[in-house]
Structure 1
Amino acid sequence: MGLNEDLGRRLRALRQEQDLSLSELSRRSRVGKGTLSELESGLRNPTLETLYALTTALGCPLSAVLSDPAPESGSGAELPGVSGSAVTALLLERHEDAAAVTDVFRVTIRAGATQESAAHVPGTGESLMVLAGTAVVGPPHDARAVGPGASAHWPADVPHIYRAPDGDVQGILFVRYPSALRDGEDSGP
């Protein structure tokens, strides 16, 4: 099964578990019904922004629709990830315990680009450890520059940005969702 088909199958299963129609998930996520249908059918490549809109509307972590974490690759080949307007993310790990679900991503923020991320479900937080380059991250009114070897943490249940003003940024992103999401809690409209 291809990556898009696997993602579509997972997305459809989550929607059906919550007894939501395509129309209702489209309304809650503000993703077009046609786009949603094509995603569930594996016919469309999703953007990072679209996947976050859908998983937020479903009240689940992004990793719930992504394939299992990437295997170790000794070949040096570029592993597939999901891309947004500025960020490409590759799921490395999903850790789940009684307190939270934590997704760990290897990210690249493209030089000169800015990604505006919508608020995730209440209680979600993000941390970025920068490996190379300088990133500007966090809520737009409180964004901070973070260089190699440093990290930043911000609430992700408010709109936030990722920017690479001077060149590509390489980093490790941790997204921590509250434990209530594990049970598919309804995130509301």
Structure 2
Amino acid sequence: MTSDLAAVVGERLRTTRRDRGLSLAALAEQAGIGKGSLSEIENGSRNATLGTLYALAGALGVPLATLLAERVGAEVASPGISARLLETQRLETGVVEVYLLHLDAGARHESPGHGRGVVEHLLLTRGRAAVGPVRRMTEVGVGETATWESRGRHRYRALGDGPVDAVLVIRSCG
């Protein structure tokens, strides 16, 4: 994450937290991160990982793209995984976010639930992966898709010896 993006994310995070009437300590507790870490992220002095941003977005009840200020090209990562925002559309029925997702060879990533009415659609463009809810993961190859409600924890796992690339569409209703 660039320092410019870190500053924008921090500002969006602080504004959204205050709009929700949450203290720094309350949001940190709900997201399962340290209060000091949250303060550093809000001040733009610390880069948040993809996992941390998803935890914060979930605790605030907003799509990840909201914290990224809907900046096309914004990229966030955690070890072994990265997501680059390609597009966001705000519709009367909710929000649609489109990401380019990359997993390094052998990478495993677990994402927290994103709330009710959130559905993920993944189209694999390279490699082979197991994706979806923790107890119902689906294997997909190039050109194949998987769709799941992401209310609960879900995983992305690169299978085989190579990296995985995919287009991930997240649809939030309401």
TM-score bucket of the superposed structures, by smaller chain: over 0.9
Partners of 2:71 and 2:130 in 1: CA distance? 26
- TM-score normalized with structure 2 length: 0.93
* Residues 1:178 and 2:173 aligned together: yes
Query: Could you list the per-position Cα deviations for residues 30-83 of structure 1 after superposition, in whole angstroms to 9, with x for gaps in the alignment?
Result: 111001000000011111110011011001000001043336xxxxxxxx6101
* Residues 1:163 and 2:157 aligned together: yes
Partners of 1:61 and 1:91 in 2: CA distance? 12
* Residues 1:137 and 2:140 aligned together: no
Local SS of the residue matching 2:89 = strand
Unaligned stretches of 5+ residues in structure 1: 72-79, 180-189
Query: Could you list the per-position Cα deviations for residues 95-145 of structure 1 after superposition, in whole angstroms to 9, with x for gaps in the alignment?
Result: 111112111001101110110111111121111111111111001221111
Partners of 1:159 and 1:19 in 2: CA distance? 26
Local SS of the residue matching 1:141 = coil
Local SS of the residue matching 2:135 = helix
Unaligned stretches of 5+ residues in structure 2: none
Question: Among 53, 61, 64, which residue is 1:62 paired with?
Answer: 64
* Residues 1:92 and 2:86 aligned together: yes
Partners of 1:178 and 1:31 in 2: CA distance? 27
Partners of 1:26 and 1:70 in 2: CA distance? 27
Partners of 2:79 and 2:149 in 1: CA distance? 21
Partners of 1:126 and 1:85 in 2: CA distance? 21
Partners of 2:105 and 2:69 in 1: CA distance? 27
Question: Among 51, 71, 81, which residue is 1:49 paired with?
Answer: 51
- TM-score normalized with structure 1 length: 0.86
Local SS of the residue matching 1:91 = strand
Q: Which residue of 1 aligns with 2:38?
A: 36
Please state which structure has a larger fraction of its residues in strand.
2
The amino acid that maps onto 1:35 is S
The amino acid that maps onto 2:153 is P
What pairs up with 1:81-120 in 2 under 5 angstroms? 81-120=75-114
What pairs up with 1:9-24 in 2 under 5 angstroms? 9-24=11-26
The amino acid that maps onto 2:116 is P
Local SS of the residue matching 2:159 = coil
Query: Could you tell me whether the CA contact under 8 Å between 1:131 and 1:170 is conserved in 2?
Result: yes
Identity of aligned residues (%): 39
Partners of 2:79 and 2:132 in 1: CA distance? 16
